[in-house]
Amino acid sequence: MSSPFLEATALSCERDWRLLFENLDIRLDAGQMLQVSGPNGSGKTSLLRVLAGLRPPTSGTVHLKGQPLARRSGELADDLLWIGHAAGIKGLLSAEENLAWLCALHRPASREQIWQALEAVGLRGFEDVPCHTLSAGQQRRVALARLYLHGPPLWILDEPFTALDKQAVSQLEDHLAGHCRNGGLVVLTTHHSLSRVPDGYRDLDLGQHGA
């Protein structure tokens, strides 16, 4: 049997001497979506950061494509896209400048592709406005525009729906489901219940697991 794309074994995580979760096993294959839910402070963001390799787990291992995450640090950008709660968007730079930099950092993209991605998230006409003048929802859209560029298969998104309006939420849900249909993987946290989910959808409730 081939190893799954993302596999976490016996994960546990401590924060400030408090056990957030323990003995967590996650297997995720192409086409699957994992929604991590749970009350505030139950360790959703910590789990996502562990899966993205931004934070070492207290115990347990994370394997990506059968290899330990820690040993793949240089190649992570080929497999994994992380958009945290703070998404790396500079308020002083324009939407286009922000995206151009993030693309240069991860995967090169042309100016046209960046403009198309911005149009896809409904930011046409806001390309060269400094991001601090945009609303919170629009700033989130700038970060989410990365999902409309040619990207890696695994998306790890921390609260991607924050501050988005209804129409943008349903558009993003469609886009995530479409990504899974095309063989991608999505791990996300959100408090709202998704209305459109792909076949490989699973839910992980940390509130029940950790306590």
Partner 1 sequence: MNSLFMLLVVREARLLCRRPAELANPLVFFAIVIALFPLAVGPQTQLLQSLSPGLVWVAALLAVLLSLDGLFRSDFEDGSLEQWLLSSHPLPVLVLAKVMAHWLFSGLALVLLSPLLALMLGLPGRCLPVLLASLLLGTPILSLLGAIGAALTVGLKRGGLLLALLILPLYIPVLILGSGALQASLQGLPVAGHLLWLASLAALTITLTPFAIAAGLKISVSE
Q: State the residues that interact with partner 1 by CB under 8 A.
A: 49, 52-56, 74-78, 80, 82, 84-93, 97, 100-102, 104-107, 130
Q: Which is nearer to partner 1, 130 or 207 (CB)?
A: 130
Q: Which is nearer to partner 1, 75 or 203 (CB)?
A: 75
Q: Which is nearer to partner 1, 139 or 198 (CB)?
A: 139
* Min CB(111)–partner 1 separation in Å: 13
Q: Is the distance from CB of 42 to CB of 107 less than 8 angstroms?
A: no
* Min CB(130)–partner 1 separation in Å: 7
* Min CB(50)–partner 1 separation in Å: 10
Instruction: Report how far residue 199's alpha carbon sits from residue 134's, in angstroms, rounded to the nearest whole number.
Output: 35
Of 111, 83, 77, which Cα lies nearest the Cα of 95?
111
* Min CB(85)–partner 1 separation in Å: 7
Instruction: Report CA-CA distances (Å) from 138 to 31, 116, 130, 134, 209.
Output: 28, 16, 11, 6, 35
Q: Is the dihedral of CA 165, 126, 108, 49 positive or negative?
A: negative
Q: Which is nearer to partner 1, 68 or 178 (CB)?
A: 68
Q: At what angle do helices 136-144 and 95-105 cross, to 10 degrees?
A: 30
